[in-house]
Amino acid sequence: MGLGRIILRQAHTTLETRVPLLRDKAFINGQWVAAASGKNFDVIDPASGRVVGSVPDMDASDTTAAIQAAADAFQTWKHTTAKERSEYLRKWYDVLVKHHNDLATLITAEAGKPWKEAHGEVSYGNSFVEWFSEEARRTHGEILASPTRTKEMILIKQPIGVVALITPWNFPIAMITRKAGAALAAGCTCVVKPAEDTPLTALALAQLGEEAGLPKGVFNVVTSNRHHAPEVGKALCESPLVAGISFTGSTAVGKLLYKQSSSGVKRLALELGGNAPFIVFSSADIDKAVDGAIASKFRNCGQTCVSANRFLIQEEIFDVFVEKICSKINTLKMGYGMDHSISLGPLINTTQSHKVNTIVQDAIKKGAKVHLGAKPASSLGERFYEPTVLTNINESMMCYKEEIFGPVAVCIRQTEEEAMTIANNTRQGLAGYFFSNDIPQLWRVAKELAVGMVGINEGMISTAEAAFGGIKESGIGREGSHHGIDEFTYTKYMCFGNL
């Protein structure tokens, strides 16, 4: 099958819009610095394949300097009051809001996101700085009821120290602010290692933090290419000056960081891979379920950790659901993100494009039926892939088990019991979704899904106010909400005796 009526818009061969906030240096101890080696690497626009900018290719020695700067700054930052930290974060938020359009343009340029999605991410990312500017003043301790008359017992919360924030490419602003907002609010200092595909947004955050008056050494950014990423990560994990690691990315890398951090018994927060089920029961409003499926599956071209990965559709409504989701996909426009009518952009790089195509072709060879897509959108560029809908799925197919991270909807015909078995039969447990209008079923399924987050008649669940995180091999800890600061604080017990 072809792509139906999907509209393809030719990717521009040049950037139409000036890309703002471009920096060609990393940010350490309040200074814009090159790599000690003098080496740089290029950042590529995934839509056009053109170079957006060039940044330092840093290694372990540069990382050690950033860690030392953060450790020195911590000696002062940890003594700031909650009110002072709140004010710093609020000023940072105000500057970020002022540069909303600039940040969105930068994200579109380096991550390939459509303009509307980039704007949405900036609002989402900024909301974490705003949220934690307020939560900074609500990190309360406790006064305990003493068992004796001569003692008083108090619990206080203190910052853990320097934290390393290792972030992915798919949300280049939000994955940093969600971590850094909480860390800075708690009184920690940060060394940020952004993904090699999208380091420019991290540097823009540093620039705007500098403009907001963040003290030197409090927020540092180390950039490196892929071949230096392992040694940079190892330096962050093994440094005795680093108290905690917060990582978002693949389960495989998360396990490696977990192992490397064990020598120092560091505080660890991991948000790892997902394999989200999307269940539609026969009582559901199918049109709302389709809208939720589009929002969950095709946001950022399917490249989110909470993207629906397996659509488990009840027998009675299966054919209608497949027909309706294909019809909705046919209204989407794919192309260069700076065209404001575009709703689907490219995959982040050629490796990801090849991976998605391998998974799709494996399914086809093993008997999957193609309703839409199933091939690269070569007329747009080597990183574009047509939105795809597959049915006749069986357990032997890669798409049945693996996180696809692309615009591929895998639809499986199931009963409720079968859907729950398939949904929970995975080592991942980040997010899950289901649509139903059966009230007893709402509670039953929501509690039985083995995931950290559940979307009930809703395909978009992320917000600063909610606790974001998974179970099983999808991670440790929570980000966002008032629980987000807990990852960056120690609870200290103080006992006053002989009173």
Q: What is the pLDDT of residues 2-17, one digit of tens each?
A: 333 444 455 444 444 5
Q: Is the dihedral of CA 300, 303, 305, 307 positive or negative?
A: positive
Count of C-beta atoms within a 10 Å radius of residue 29: 16
Alpha helices in 265-349 (DSSP H): 286-298, 318-329
- Pairwise CA distance, residues 360 & 400, whole Å: 11
Long-range contacts of 436-439 (CB under 8 A, 24+ apart): 436/281, 436/283, 436/284, 437/283, 437/284, 437/285, 438/281, 438/283
Question: Hey, is 411 helix, strand or coil?
Answer: strand
The strands making up 31-33's β-sheet, listed across from edge to edge, are: 31-33, 26-28, 219-221, 189-193, 162-166, 242-248, 267-271, 475-476
pLDDT at 20: 92
Q: Which residues share a beta bridge with 456?
A: 434
Contacts of 417 (CB under 8 A, 6+ apart): none
DSSP letter (8 states) at residue 368: P
Residue ranges of the chain assigned to CATH 3.40.605.10: 15-272+475-494
Residue position matching structure tokens 């939560």:
135
pLDDT digits (tens, 9 = 90+) for 254-299: 999 999 999 999 999 999 999 999 999 999 999 999 999 999 999 9
pLDDT digits (tens, 9 = 90+) for 471-480: 999 999 999 9
Whether 354 has a pLDDT exceeding 90, the answer reads: yes
Q: What fold characterizes domain 15-272+475-494?
A: Aldehyde Dehydrogenase; Chain A, domain 1 (3.40.605)
Average pLDDT, the chain: 95
Domain 276-463 has CATH 3.40.309.10: yes
- Mean pLDDT to the nearest integer, 226-246: 97
- Mean pLDDT to the nearest integer, 164-176: 97
Q: Do residues 445 and 342 make contact, with C-beta atoms less than 8 angstroms apart?
A: no
Contacts of 319 (CB under 8 A, 6+ apart): none
| Nearest Cα to Cα of residue 246 among 493, 468, 23 | 468
- Pairwise CA distance, residues 324 & 199, whole Å: 39
Count of C-beta atoms within a 10 Å radius of residue 208: 23
pLDDT at 2: 36
Count of C-beta atoms within a 10 Å radius of residue 465: 9
Percent composition of the chain: helix, strand, coil (DSSP 3-state, to 5): 40, 20, 35
At residue 222, what is the residue type?
A: V
Q: Quote the tokens at residue 467.
A: 């606790």
Residues forming the active site? 271
Residue position matching structure tokens 């980040």:
430
Model-level pTM greater than 0.85? yes
Residue ranges of the chain assigned to CATH 3.40.309.10: 276-463
